[in-house]
Structure 1
């Protein structure tokens, strides 16, 4: 049997396995369910709502009427001045919305949010959903949302393509796809690839006699199996992306590849002061985030499959290998609690980057009060781990091959 013939044999065996077909079906079904769940439950940071702006205008007018009845004082005059500025801004926002001039709306709203951030604690109106049960960082998340949306709206005011309400509210299909990299897509795809490796990768160690008659080196057999599972994982990845894009674009617009996405630059410290400046964010097109998140996910998959092959040499039982592999996916929550300070140890820990969807955007640094977590570190860690695992797999395969010929 030639190398190509063996590859075809392994491919047909893998895809004809009913358990593997069930895993593929479950993964694709989870993509359907995730898409519908996102469509029905997603709450945007910036919800363009004319009724809300109208209520804010009425509230400001009512406050002015109350202050007009009081004795004139310096503090009252200062408050009246601030309210008049806010009232003028809100009326401009409402007028631009009514005329559907969203680029001008974005420019005015960005300046308004910048002004609110400068006045930090006195002017921010943070929605109630940020203050959920046992969540003690609603105020910080609200500050982040104002800075994030302010910088994005500032970028929207300078784009050369049509701006829509779906793009501002991040309700396009590309936005839904980008959010899937935060938790759903990495975990579901890694779990699917691990489960599919149970028969092919792990049981090969328990039953090596099936391949001893083939004129192929053991290391080549393992490398072929690894490549095959990686290709199947890539196929699932693109099928999942297609499902998410197809369903979400049916309800919302597809989006634009140059849609600006703010990236937190990591120079902000949570200790003692809030986020105060839109310049804490840089802007990249959404295609940049999708491309680099996809590459990192592929690296994560092939490293996970290599880890399974390596552990399989010491633990021939599939249950133990699967347990170790699954534990590595959720172990990050045990070593990295949200808090203040700079976490150099966590930034160099590989498990930190299993939840990589909000690392490239810089949100992980904000959540942990860190400046050191970066996707290039995760790439370095996993690429180094992959090379070491491949070296160990080669050495172990050669040792096994020599023992067989003694």
Structure 2
């Protein structure tokens, strides 16, 4: 009976008129992301052939100007010439150096020689950190742009050094993080878990309310009320996990076809402390470790929201109210989150479960970086989420005793 009821609930969710259009919509979004948005996304490291050509043309014109006036040596700053008359700026030589470097990068990109391209880009960034640190368009709307630019620079250099030190062939997909595994990692780092959890909330928001249309049949089932709630939860959990697994597999497969699968031994930069804001504060974990730790927390988050929806369904008996409240809880951190928020109601932010919903930012220390704290750790996250789950279980047990099967189905 338990198995049959579990399969029955699973199939009802899968065949629901409410579920099928939503799955189709998410599938369309997935294909748009994998085929259009991410492959053509412009980042700081994206190579812009047009801008590079314009820069080379500008350098050519500058060199012609210096040659025409016969000034290819040192250029002195008039404001400081009386004090530091012996110091000059070798503008012509610097322009020649930059011209040859950017021309080589452009040719490497055209020839699809990405190993040479990566070596040249890494060499350029090592000697020109201001490419990040003084880019006024980078993080210009962030409250701490200088800190964020330095953070991005360190992460970029760590990734590039890792690519060059590994024996893997350097491809376009690897260099610009578009392989299957790198895309999954970026998805989990950038609010991807929020999207997956919203799907879970949607699938499980009506697993009780839909039964009120069949009161006569369901009230006579030879299954206790609490066991019935548990079986419904299990079916929603299994369907949600199957859907999430399908999304991940299909997304990685699409990106693999285009750019390759990637490598599990690639290093993912993580911030381990907040002391000096130098490379000493950083470390690395493997791609396999990052994905494993992040995805390991996902089933806990899924069952947490499924059980929460059961509680809300018992209390409100309406799927749309349940969907709204659960979504509000899921995104509640966005209502108060600022880069300086480290306490909520006088308590440390690390004690609240909503801090850990976006678990991709916990594993790599990004949440600690954003809040300039060290209290938000992986172990704390698992502990807080487990405690939250246990609290929800206790509440569900109590509510199920108060709102029994007869009271739930006969309530108008």
Smaller-chain TM-score bracket: 0.7 to 0.9
The match for 2:24 is 25
The match for 2:139 is 130
> Residues 6-17 of structure 1 correspond to what in structure 2 (within 5 A)?
6-17=5-16
Residue 146 (1) aligns with residue 153 (2): yes
Provide the TM-score with structure 1 as the length reference.
Answer: 0.79
TM-superposed deviation, 1:228:
0.7
Residue 190 (1) aligns with residue 189 (2): no
Measure, in 2, the Cα distance between the counterparts of 1:341 and 1:402.
Answer: 43
Kindly tell me the number of residue pairs found equivalent between the two proteins: 392
The match for 2:76 is 70
- 8 Å Cα contact 2:307-2:393 kept in structure 1: yes
TM-superposed deviation, 1:84:
7.6
> Residues 102-113 of structure 1 correspond to what in structure 2 (within 5 A)?
113=125
Deviations 1:340-379 (A, max 9, x none): 8789722222122223333322222222333322333222
Measure, in 2, the Cα distance between the counterparts of 1:42 and 1:384.
Answer: 39
Deviations 1:284-333 (A, max 9, x none): 22222222222222221210111111222322233332221011122111
The match for 1:238 is 245
> Residues 78-97 of structure 1 correspond to what in structure 2 (within 5 A)?
80=89
Match of 1:394 among 393, 397, 412: 397
Residue 311 (1) aligns with residue 312 (2): yes
Which of 169-178 and 93-102 deviates more? 93-102
- Structure 1 residue matching 2:208: 3-state secondary structure: helix
Deviations 1:42-72 (A, max 9, x none): 2234335788499589869969967614388
The match for 1:282 is 283
CA RMSD of aligned residues (A): 4.0
Q: Which runs of 5+ in 2 are unaligned?
A: 408-412
The 1:390–1:206 alpha-carbon spacing in structure 2 relative to 1, beyond 3 Å, is farther
The 1:124–1:185 alpha-carbon spacing in structure 2 relative to 1, beyond 3 Å, is closer
The match for 2:410 is none
- Structure 2 residue matching 1:243: 3-state secondary structure: helix
- 8 Å Cα contact 2:74-2:90 kept in structure 1: no
Deviations 1:228-276 (A, max 9, x none): 111111111122113322332333232222222211223246xxxxx4x
Residue 373 (1) aligns with residue 372 (2): no
The 1:186–1:76 alpha-carbon spacing in structure 2 relative to 1, beyond 3 Å, is farther
The 1:11–1:138 alpha-carbon spacing in structure 2 relative to 1, beyond 3 Å, is same
> Residues 203-282 of structure 1 correspond to what in structure 2 (within 5 A)?
203-204=210-211, 210-268=217-275, 275=277, 277-282=278-283
Measure, in 2, the Cα distance between the counterparts of 1:127 and 1:396.
Answer: 55
The 1:45–1:162 alpha-carbon spacing in structure 2 relative to 1, beyond 3 Å, is same
- 8 Å Cα contact 1:360-1:374 kept in structure 2: yes
Q: Which runs of 5+ in 1 are unaligned?
A: 270-274
Measure, in 1, the Cα distance between the counterparts of 2:99 and 2:351.
Answer: 46
Deviations 1:177-225 (A, max 9, x none): 2222245532333222222223323445797664332222222111111
- Structure 1 residue matching 2:38: 3-state secondary structure: helix
